[in-house]
Amino acid sequence: MPDARRAVPLLAACLLLGFALVQAVATGHQEDFFIYRWGSQQAVGGESPYDIAQVRAAVAVQFPDPEPTPTSFVNNCGYFLPPAATVLFLPFALLPWSAAKVAWAVTNGLAAYFIARLPWLWNPAPAPRTTPLLLLASVLLVLNPVSLAVQVVGQSTPVFVGFVAAGLFAFDRGKPYLAALLWAVPFVKPHLALPLVPLACFLGGWRPAAVLVAAVTGLNLAGAWLIGGSPLFLKEYFDFLPATRDAVAYNRVALNPTIPSWNRLLLAAGGPAIELGLLGTLAGYVVWFGLLVGRCAVAGTIPARSWVLAAAVTGAVLCSQVLVYELLVLAGVVPWVRDLFAAGQRVRGWLAVVVLAAESIPHQVLAGFGVEAHHAVGVAVLAGLILTGPLDPTRGPAAAINSA
């Protein structure tokens, strides 16, 4: 069904685009996108976007709240993106607000197409009997409760994941340097994008990884110059970072049960409330990638690309203290799950499917049944499946039989 493999992702992306356009034109939301655009406008005007009081004053004008509370959005927002973001969101800042929202919706629609193509990454012609399930997965990757809710507030995660997916297809088509440039965009969320550097090294060698690091560095230096008139403004940004953790109540692990990282699971199990700052996040990555390297060393084999991708995106959510909408990055697990079924690993494959499906269920639904922190539990289970599963399910007799 080669036509369906192209038509269904396109249809899913168009449906997402339609929903995003409705949010852009017919609602008064897009709060997060407003802040991203505002940050670039501040930089163009020669002012720093890293002034929480100014951000909240602008939000209060655009999204008036007659009776704000300590937990209202106007009292729990700020511009926390790195200086590179002021450059990347500059095209939207140059447009009027109404036109910028439409352009952002179109950007999300384009990103959705690449996300919907992920079920066929590295295996464009799977077994015919699995094609209907992959088509269903293609639709659900972009049309699920989390992805639709994200469109309402204008978060950047779908675009983040779309650029990651586009870069993966660029690697697959022998264009590693294009992939590296595409992957510079997700570094608007650097804590979540860090695994892209070792992933680029695995997929294309050290040169694309070096280009990625250089592109991210260049964008941040350009953003620092745009904001402060000098690349030295980067120091002010790093000085600002410690204030970001406590500025937003629902970013704190003790106050938000939807946080999916390991520290939320620890808290749910009766442990202490550990807030992950820069050092805590880096330490988590060191432990996670150490476990992955150890697993490969014990197995004595080079893992499949799908396994490495699944490990990278799962590690990003596991080690970074992020909110529920960042679960969209788990779309990168789908090619590995597909390979599990092809290899006859159906129990492990179905367990991964159940976990991925549960991650899209809003917290309020399961909390009504007394289930807490199911997002963190799901990510931990997924991490366990990856660590204990086959490194290359595409090899071996079972895979050969199932792909026939």
3-state secondary structure string across 249-263: HHHCCCCCCCCCCHH
Confidence grade of residue 401 (pLDDT, cut at 50, 70, 90): very low
Report the pLDDT value the prediction gives residue 397, as an integer from 0 to 100.
43
Residue predicted with more confidence, 240 or 49: 49
Report the pLDDT value the prediction gives residue 88, as an integer from 0 to 100.
96
Domain-embedded: residue 404: yes
Other Cβ atoms within 10 Å of 326 Cβ, number: 25
Counted domains in the chain: 1
pLDDT, one tens digit per residue, over 262-305 is 999 999 889 999 988 889 999 999 999 999 999 999 999 999 99
Report the pLDDT value the prediction gives residue 1, as an integer from 0 to 100.
46
Domain-embedded: residue 109: no
Distance CA 355, CA 331 (A): 12
pLDDT, one tens digit per residue, over 154-187 is 999 999 999 999 999 999 999 999 999 999 999 9
Domain-embedded: residue 341: yes
90-94, 215-219, 297-301 — which is least confidently predicted? 297-301
Q: What is the end-to-end Cα distance of the chain in Å, rounded?
A: 16
Judged by DSSP in three states, 229 sits in: coil
Report the pLDDT value the prediction gives residue 246, as an integer from 0 to 100.
66
And the tokens for 4? 């369906």
Distance CA 14, CA 110 (A): 9
Domain-embedded: residue 67: no
- Domain carrying residue 400: 252-404
DSSP 61: H
Domain-embedded: residue 189: no
Considering the entire predicted model, what is its pTM? 0.93
Domain-embedded: residue 298: yes
Residue 395: pLDDT above 80? no
Domain-embedded: residue 403: yes
Domain-embedded: residue 56: no
Burial of 205 (0-12, 13-18, 19+ CB in 10 A): exposed
